[in-house]
Amino acid sequence: MTEIKLTSEITVEEIQAVGDDAMIAHAAMVSTRGAMDGEAVPPEKAAGLIRYLMANRHGTPFEHGCLTVRVHAPIKVWREWHRHRVGWSYNEESGRYKQLDPVFYIPPRERPTIRPDGFKSARPAFDVATDDEYQQVLMHLEAGYRAAYLHYQAMLEMQVDRGLARDVLGVGIYSACYCTANPRSIMHFLELRTNRPDAKRPSKPLFEIEVAAGNLEAIFARRWPVTHAAWNECGRAAP
Amino acid sequence: MTEIKLTSEITVEEIQAVGDDAMIAHAAMVSTRGAMDGEAVPPEKAAGLIRYLMANRHGTPFEHGCLTVRVHAPIKVWREWHRHRVGWSYNEESGRYKQLDPVFYIPPRERPTIRPDGFKSARPAFDVATDDEYQQVLMHLEAGYRAAYLHYQAMLEMQVDRGLARDVLGVGIYSACYCTANPRSIMHFLELRTNRPDAKRPSKPLFEIEVAAGNLEAIFARRWPVTHAAWNECGRAAP
Amino acid sequence: MTEIKLTSEITVEEIQAVGDDAMIAHAAMVSTRGAMDGEAVPPEKAAGLIRYLMANRHGTPFEHGCLTVRVHAPIKVWREWHRHRVGWSYNEESGRYKQLDPVFYIPPRERPTIRPDGFKSARPAFDVATDDEYQQVLMHLEAGYRAAYLHYQAMLEMQVDRGLARDVLGVGIYSACYCTANPRSIMHFLELRTNRPDAKRPSKPLFEIEVAAGNLEAIFARRWPVTHAAWNECGRAAP
Amino acid sequence: MTEIKLTSEITVEEIQAVGDDAMIAHAAMVSTRGAMDGEAVPPEKAAGLIRYLMANRHGTPFEHGCLTVRVHAPIKVWREWHRHRVGWSYNEESGRYKQLDPVFYIPPRERPTIRPDGFKSARPAFDVATDDEYQQVLMHLEAGYRAAYLHYQAMLEMQVDRGLARDVLGVGIYSACYCTANPRSIMHFLELRTNRPDAKRPSKPLFEIEVAAGNLEAIFARRWPVTHAAWNECGRAAP
């Protein structure tokens, strides 16, 4: 019998990227320099221009570049991520073409998990579980995942279509996906999928997609530091 | 204890629509009539024009209109459907904001389900199960679904975040979604999600999404009969 | 010799529409009502929900519906309008397939037109012309348009490809276009293409596209009054 | 008085790119390899896979990468190019923020230009001009362009808004633009904007956009040779 693996890790790895802050400034300057735009934009000028573009919602210059990441996350995260349609491309592991690996999500100890009295769906805020509650949650998740994977394997042994047998597998099972997006689309994603006190327009994302978003933001900030800083200064409102 | 409901039904209901074959012809004729385009296009001329547009991949006139449907389908169907990004809009039932109903998918008796000897993933073709195989598949699915829903309910009683408790629920659970699309996007969807001998470019869709696509196609054909016929004549290749 | 027609009118006519405020509320409520969503949403509840969606940037419910308009505007307006890619569909009069009509744009008397001392491109603000300046502008535009149209006609008489002969025609010539968009995309367009003191994020649109946007907004406000009001309350920031 | 420059050149320069044939294969293999996809795909296998993806319209793997080009082309070319909405990003020289340079398009000697007897708009085919016809076309274009630019300059000297003064300038004037697209979107563009006997679905593009498309295709073919070859083998039908 296959052992199932339980994990809280949600990983985002950089695969490739092109375009940087200078490229954004360069593309923007075609507006005013036209065809004579061969010269490089000096870094200080680029930074000022990027802040101006961000503050005035000139979004298109932030589309000249892209980042490809490989992400390993539970299906429930993909259910939300794939709803980002514009400027995002995806290729995901297939439940029809391969047997899904028995890797399932469990919350880390610190995840706010329990609905307090007076909980409101529109502004979801949770308490961290007690030790006992946390153990019970793990028990329920593990038992559910394990039973499902056993039935899945039994059906695969019968040569049942993988695209049907997987129907028992919970949305906590992991799936790998390649995602490619441009900086503008990345900022839109991060604006909606992180919850930060300095955001002009607060969001209440699902805990797990926020973990993924945090990992993506670190890569984004390294590759486009001036853009990332300007976006933060503008209250994390995507242009 | 809540009873779970097992069903094979995948429903697509028309909610609203605008635009018809005449509108497509009308929009196309702005190319050659410009601002003087007040006059209606006679039906025979409209039909000829639509066939011409379809055959020559003039796709944009097929975007002037839209259809909204309410669909009830298993999550695994949404996992594929939501990958259609262009010209499609979605609002789906939330596993964070409501308790998911215990309605789960089981295959109908006639669904091709068993991988034959010599099965190839790239061209998936399945055999219909024997009675015994079918009963076993139902048993595995039902047992998996039931166990998962029990753990789900137990966690909800503990006031666990619905967005975490649902991680045990299999992708065979049903979810409702409003979908809005224009005729061009609908044809793209149908081209990829149906498998028809008269298609110029064959697809091998998942059985369940093909059921949904068939239901959608019936609505589409009623609303845009000339477009639907022209698309079929062109080997179901979306313009 | 053909007479040319000079005009300042930019028209936007409603051709068809579907979806209303109730539909937006209805689509949004699938999140929390799932498949049991048959009941109509009472108007007061719909209005409250729409304000909530707008304020919290839940944008997708505003995509279930569409509006088709026929617009008659100078090519320079299309050059900006067509840059709106998401949720917009276009079919425009063709300079290859038909002879373009000799209808050209002139500014209305009140258009702010003259760059004052200390003019800055980043925040363009113009003064209204004096009578004398206005007459000179009309003279230059008319003379340029007229000469161009004469050369155009001469080439057409030689049987020159219309797609080449039109190269002399100025971007002030009119062109007709069918545009279809959903409410969310319309709000994005209006946010960028109008300049209003009550806007949270001000824009400095071209005068002529703002005229078109004003006409479009009137249609939008009639069809989706609650959405329009909620968007205004939220500082005209599209969700 | 400023001299105007007449040219037939339409240039496309590579600015940056990321992703190659191996990356496309790699992204595609996540379907069947999932998270264990660290190993490189051997080149022969990658080529076979790319042909399979192309032939079976698995389009998404061709979206993981992008190419940025700087293009110098007449406005009439942009009028068509900018209608490509999906997977394309643009930043163009602005007629509001800068004075447009007096660079205008004239056809090369060999451009098919004269409508023969029995010409049909739906299948446009032109004859090459005689020497005399060609000279007359050049004369008309040059005279039209020159008069327009004089009026434009006169208005600029009066401090007229550049966004209004440019209304006299013909669509044959050049404009520079940065364009970023992924391989899938590039193939869609090339399929529609080139006319090749080996194409499964023939197009009749405007001569000038086909020149631009030819230049873009050369860059595309160098960067993604296997993809380009597979696309040609499949009759240049974009997946």
- Encoded amino acid at C97, one letter: Y
The pLDDT of residue C10 is 98
Cβ contact (<8 Å) for A148 and B140?
no
**Of A193, A201, A223, A236, catalytic:** A193
Q: How far apart are CA A168 and CA B168, in angstroms?
A: 9
Nearest residue, CB atoms, D86 vs list B32, B86, B203: B86
Q: How confident is the model at residue D136 (pLDDT cuts 50, 70, 90)?
A: very high
Question: In sequence order, which residues have a C-beta less than 8 Å from that of residue B163 and are 6 or more positions away?
Answer: A76, A124, A206, A207, B95, B96
Cβ contact (<8 Å) for A121 and C52?
no
Strands in A23-135 per DSSP E: 66-74, 88-92, 103-105, 112-114, 127-128
Averaged pLDDT for residues B120-141: 94
Cβ contact (<8 Å) for B31 and C101?
no
User: In chain D, which residues have their Cβ closer than 8 Å to the Cβ of B56?
Assistant: 122
Give tens-digit pLDDT for C109-139: 999 999 999 898 878 899 999 999 999 999 9
**H or E element at residue A174:** strand A174-181
B residues 131-190 closer than 8 Å to D (CB)? none
Question: In sequence order, which residues have a C-beta less than 8 Å from that of residue B161 and are 6 or more positions away?
Answer: A112, A113, A114, A115, A124, A126, A207, B96
Q: How far apart are CA D176 and CA D92, in angstroms?
A: 6
Cβ contact (<8 Å) for A31 and D90?
no
Model ipTM over 0.85: yes
Task: For chain A, give the percent of residues with pLDDT over 90.
Answer: 88
The pLDDT of residue A122 is 78
Residue D57: closest CA among chain B residues belongs to which residue? B201
Query: Does C33 reach chain B within 8 Å, measured CB to CB?
Result: yes
Q: How confident is the model at residue A5 (pLDDT cuts 50, 70, 90)?
A: very high
Is the torsion defined by CA of B86, C31, B12, C181 positive or negative?
Answer: negative
DSSP result, C149-162? HHHHHHHHHTTB-H
Average pLDDT of chain A is 95
- Chains touching C (3+ CB pairs < 8 Å): A, B, D
Residue D37: closest CA among chain A residues belongs to which residue? A176
How far is the alpha carbon of C229 from chain D, nearest alpha carbon, in Å?
30
Q: How confident is the model at residue B121 (pLDDT cuts 50, 70, 90)?
A: confident
How far is the alpha carbon of D147 from chain A, nearest alpha carbon, in Å?
22
User: In chain B, which residues have their Cβ closer than 8 Å to the Cβ of D56?
Assistant: 122
pLDDT at B38 over 80: no
Cβ contact (<8 Å) for C206 and D96?
yes
Cβ contact (<8 Å) for D23 and A16?
yes
Hunting for tokens 């695994």 — which residue is that?
B76
The pLDDT of residue C38 is 67
Q: Residues B144, B145, B146, B147: what is their CA dihedral angle, to the nearest 10 degrees? A: 50
pLDDT at B33 over 70: yes
Query: Does C52 reach chain A within 8 Å, measured CB to CB?
Result: yes
Q: How confident is the model at residue A124 (pLDDT cuts 50, 70, 90)?
A: confident
Per DSSP, chain A holds a count of helices (H) and strands (E) of 8, 8
Question: In sequence order, which residues have a C-beta less than 8 Å from that of residue D219 and are 6 or more positions away?
Answer: D12, D14, D67, D69
Cβ contact (<8 Å) for D122 and B52?
yes
Task: For chain B, give the percent of residues with pLDDT over 70.
Answer: 98
Q: How confident is the model at residue D154 (pLDDT cuts 50, 70, 90)?
A: very high
User: In chain B, which residues have their Cβ closer than 8 Å to the Cβ of D57?
Assistant: 192, 201, 203
The pLDDT of residue A39 is 74
**B130-158 per-residue burial string, b: 16 or more CB within 10 A, e: under 16:** eeebbebbeebbbbbbbbbbbbbbbbbeb
The C-alpha R_g of chain D, in whole angstroms, comes to 21
**How many beta-carbon pairs below 8 A join chains B and D?**
15
How far is the alpha carbon of D5 from chain B, nearest alpha carbon, in Å?
32
User: Two tokens at B192?
Assistant: 């990829």
Averaged pLDDT for residues B158-177: 98
Averaged pLDDT for residues C41-61: 93
pLDDT at B39 over 80: no
How far is the alpha carbon of A25 from chain B, nearest alpha carbon, in Å?
29
User: In chain A, which residues have their Cβ closer than 8 Å to the Cβ of D91?
Assistant: 27-28, 30-31, 60-61, 64
B65 backbone φψ class: left, alpha, beta (φ>0; ψ -120 to 50): left
How far is the alpha carbon of A177 from chain B, nearest alpha carbon, in Å?
13
Q: Please work out, in degrees rounded to the nearest 5, the angle formed at the alpha carbon of residue B25 by the alpha carbons of B24 and B31.
A: 105
Give tens-digit pLDDT for A150-187: 999 999 999 999 999 999 999 999 999 999 999 999 99
Q: How confident is the model at residue C48 (pLDDT cuts 50, 70, 90)?
A: very high
Strands in D23-144 per DSSP E: 66-74, 88-92, 103-105, 112-114, 127-128
Nearest residue, CB atoms, B28 vs list C32, C91, C98: C91
Residue C63: closest CA among chain B residues belongs to which residue? B89
Average pLDDT of chain B is 95
CB C191 within 8 A of CB C59: no
Nearest residue, CB atoms, D57 vs list B56, B86, B201: B201
Q: How confident is the model at residue A41 (pLDDT cuts 50, 70, 90)?
A: confident
Average pLDDT of chain C is 95
Give tens-digit pLDDT for C83-95: 999 999 999 999 9
How far is the alpha carbon of C129 from chain B, nearest alpha carbon, in Å?
31
Which strands make up the sheet holding C11-18, listed edge to edge?
C11-18, C66-74, C174-181, C88-92
Q: How confident is the model at residue A37 (pLDDT cuts 50, 70, 90)?
A: low
Q: How far apart are CA A160 and CA B146, in angstroms?
A: 20
User: In chain D, which residues have their Cβ closer than 8 Å to the Cβ of C156?
Assistant: none
